[in-house]
Every structure is written in structure tokens, then in C-alpha cells.
Amino acid sequence: MPKPPPAPDDRDDLPDDASLFREAVGPVRGVRSAPRAPGAPPPRPRARMAELDEMEAVQSMRSISHPDPVAAGDVLSHRRESVPPAVFKRLKRGEIAAQDELDLHGANADQAERVLREFIVHAHREMLGCVRVVHGKGLHVAAPFGGPALPVVKNVVDRVLRQRGDVLAFHSTPAAQGGTGAVLVLLAPKRR
């Protein structure tokens, strides 16, 4: 038969639960803490000032490489010395067929530059000789602060194509192929 619980006045004489537990367990020794698992290494420090200097240098290079912006109706034209004048004349007339085309309508300046560079690399890797880049005429560009309205994507295309070593020549297309809203690009042959 179980023992009835003690009366409330007898409870003060009973040992507490913690002391009963220590009596039941007996002497104990402490456990060493386990070593921490190795975590991810801390990130490498970034040279922020060097990155800013690099960005500033790129921006100044862009402005130096083509200081005069191209207007909406201007013809884009560039030829390296290695391109014979007769070949350049055929390019200007649109007599060299474009093997691929890139349309940059709706792209902002950063998107246009990235996509154009990727397209030229792809065309060069595929050993295409001539491609067409449609950049638009820039007639719907709003003039900032009352200045002249300049076609942003057209200026990006002009700058990027002039800087690339794999571009031999380029010229705005004839009117039937897009006029001043597109450009035919003659690419250097891929070296083997």
C-alpha cells in the first residue's frame, strides 16, 4: 500500500529534489567540451579602392577612345588599315551577306554592351565573316537637360566595335537593310 503524502507542515523537513538526485547519482566528473567543427573560412578582404580606381580608369578610357558622340542620323563607319578599300566599299554597299544578326532594340547601355560582346565572341568562334547588329536609330531618345538627344545604344555599339581586335571593319547598312539603325560588321578570321 502506498504511503500517503505528508502533511503540509511536514514538507519542510524533506530534502529537496536536487540533493536527492546528487545522492542517487553519486560523485561525477566534468565532461570536456567537444572541439568546434571547422566553419567556412572568413571571406578574403576586397581591395575596394583598387576596384574603384579600375572602374574610373575604364570610364575614362571609354571617354578617351571616342570623345565625339554619334547622333541619331550619323553613319557608323570604321576600317582597319589591313582591310583593302575595295572590300570596305563592298561592305558599305551591303554586298557582303550577314551570316547572323543581333537586335538590340529595347536594351539599355549595360545590357547592349554585354550582349554585343557575347555576340561578337560567339560569331568569331563560329568563324562567321560578317554579321549585322541592329541598334536602332535613336530617334525616340529624350534629350536630358535640354541638350541634344543622343542614341545611347548606337554610341555603345560604335565604341565597343572600335575597341575589339576581332573586328576588322564596320559600316552602317544601306537603307534597304536598316540604314543608320543597323551596322554590318566584318570580322577577322579565327586563327588556328
For the stretch 111-140, pLDDT in tens is 999 999 999 999 999 999 999 999 988 765
Rounded to an integer, the average pLDDT of 44-70 is: 69
At residue 178, the pLDDT reads 86
For 106, the 3-state DSSP assignment is coil
For the stretch 6-34, pLDDT in tens is 555 555 566 788 888 888 888 887 777 77
- Which of these ranges, 30-34, 83-87, 163-167, has the smallest mean pLDDT? 30-34
Q: What is the pTM of this model?
A: 0.63
The domain segmentation of the chain, as residue ranges, is 69-182
pLDDT grade, residue 64 (50/70/90)? very low
Give me the percent of the chain exceeding a pLDDT of 70: 80
- The second-level CATH assignment, the architecture, of 69-182 is 2-Layer Sandwich (3.30)
H helices present in the chain, as ranges: 17-25, 48-65, 85-93, 109-125, 152-163
Rounded to an integer, the average pLDDT of 95-118 is: 93
Question: Edge-to-edge strand order for the sheet containing 182-187?
Answer: 77-79, 167-172, 182-187, 130-134, 101-103
